[in-house]
Structure 1
Amino acid sequence: MSLLPQLTNLGKLEIIEVYEYYDTPSLFACQNLSGQLFLTVWAEQTTEFGTWLYVPISQRRLKNVRSGNIELRDAFVNAEDGFVYKVLISCDGSPDKVEIIWCENLIDDWLPMSYEFLDFGDVPLPIWEIKDAPRTAMQIQREVLNLAFQFRTTNPTEAPVAFLGGILESVQSFFNALGQAIDGTPTPTGMIPRSITEKTQLTVLGTYPGSFGIELATLPKKIEKDNANSLVEIALNEFWELVKMSGDPENNADILRQKLWRLKSRVASAYRDFLMNLYKSETNLRFNWGSPNLERGGSVELPLSSIKKALEVINRTEDETVREYEIVGKLIGLHIRNKSYEILNSETNKKYSGRIIDEAIPSVKTATLSIVYISTIREVKEISPTIPEGKLKYKLLALRPYRS
């Protein structure tokens, strides 16, 4: 036998708080997908069925019942709508039944005892403290993203204005870059076409407590044209996968880097900016994705330690090509303490500059500016997800006098 009625006009119910328990919950609050709250009490049990009373209740009235301002019995006998649902839950698997009973016809023995009160004070109901992205997604038939932040501050339910602006901008920029990459025309810089940004636009539904949370959603489908929702939904799935990988960056380093390579440098830079906003504000992230498609969505935690490691993975460069050669040139710059140099090639007039390796310091520190030397150079082409075209760096390995 199920505790909650199935396939009735009360909808799909979920218990949100239990007040009394006798083998099973006997007095509790529940809610259906449309958001209707019920205060529920067990009335009686026979061999055939259990009888329950479900009173529809507003948030304000439930708040008063929970805080002890309204007697439990009174919540039923003086229901806001003047009636209570009598629910019969079958013991043999036959369909559950629901009927309306007007308050004046309630049986006294079914009700809580007189002068019985709850005492939760000002403690909020769990559903008022934490947003449920899947529930909201079903209600509005849109993709919903809940981003909850945990700041290391005396009041974690408040967010700095600068952080809030930065995080919202970085999230939207990231989705725009993803949309361009998915569309097949990624560019490293410049304006992203409006034809893409209109499809990847997110809206703010609101904020919520429980640390500090932002509730975001895709645009309503009735506003979209040309199947635009498919683009933002693909982008959302890519975002979801990147955040999941970032939760364990040490084990996912290679696939995280490969995914960013595939999505091109603009996406990698935008994702790095998103993580950097979190890191600078020293906040953990809890990401909750709700979708009207029950096969999509989920939750993931991104602690500050993982954010830091993910940034290291994204920023870490790899050697693509390494070659060594000698050049003849004039030493025009030298800084031993910073281990840096600058040489002007006598044949090509090209300037070389970079780092001096530790082993070369003894031979370099006695060198004289404006003198021509034979320099051994190690050329390294370094690449990263954010700089796919690569960057050449020149390390000075050795320096010896030139004799013409």
Structure 2
Amino acid sequence: MSQFNTLTKSESYLLELLASSINDCHFDKFRDNELTDEEWGDLIKTASWQGVAAIICSQIERLPQSQLPSRTQTINLIGLKISQQKRYNKQKNIASAFANALRSEGVKMYILKGFAYSSYYEDPSLRTCGDCDCFLVDVYNNLAFAKGNTIAQLFQANIDYEHYKHSHIQIHGLMIENHEFLTDFRSTRQGKITERLLRDLLIKEEGAKLFDTDMMKPNDYFNLLFLVRHAHGDFIDGGITLRMLYDLAVMLKKIECKINWSDFYQDLSICKLSDFFNLIVGICVKYFGLSLSTVPDTYKETALIDEVFYDTIRGGLHIKGKETLPQKTLRILKRFKRMWHYRNLATEKYPVMIWNSFAFSSYIHRKVSI
């Protein structure tokens, strides 16, 4: 437990609950070290904005009476879980209806992240899903981006095209991001290499239907590499979350024996993501107690593992609430500082990252191609 020495008691408790969920073991680490009501409040607050509150609730429901939080905190947690599950099921039903309409027109709806990653959970409804990201192809595996936008109009959807990577389709309160490109590759040489590789991997091996719907789950190899690429982008820009690390841990538990690790590390190298993958796997091993049998042991103990973990659990540079112009300016300057600090983990040179921050900002509607 030495790795928890500089964590608060509520943070330590939170990690142990997540670890017990990942490893499917009974939670009893803190039997003689109950939290105060204030510490439970801190734990629930952290779990909520880290996207793991419903997971925590399911683990707490397994605790003996003596270890439960106060009645108020318990009710609060159960409420968060029930709300999460209702939201998940509503989102799934809306996305499924859209997928069904697409399928009837010969279009396959591959789900990126979200519902696809939830399928690796013991209870998929515990995973928080914001937008529904998808990539559409026809029966010949040609991009069906434009056709998807046309079909969405049958749902009286609001559609906008503010970002080159995807369109935004609003259907009954669910934001569906229809991807023309899998990544925000910003027209760089390395970005195009990664984009093409991911696209090839997605269609190389057809996935499976998700939850007996017409939504498609991409193959496991693609899902893992795409998770790493997406987490890396978030990490460089501002930081990752415990939910992303939990996604990685439960995914690896389910698929590690199915992955050709020689090929995977070769593809990581092509994408310049090897060091980052080793880093986040190392975090899962150290802080979640993740045990792996086939993944190459390249996640060595380093100070960077601790540094990035603490950056994650303390919130990184994520936006918290509405920002004033001075607050936004300060955050952008901190992001540039962050990019410099973690430049050895980046896939682009520092000047390129700075330039792209302006050239591909939300205020400039760039058109790109691969």
Which of the five TM-score ranges fits, normalised by the shorter chain? under 0.3
Normalising by structure 1, report the TM-score: 0.20
TM-score by length of 2: 0.21
Higher relative contact order, chain-length normalized (CA < 8 Å, sep 6+): 2
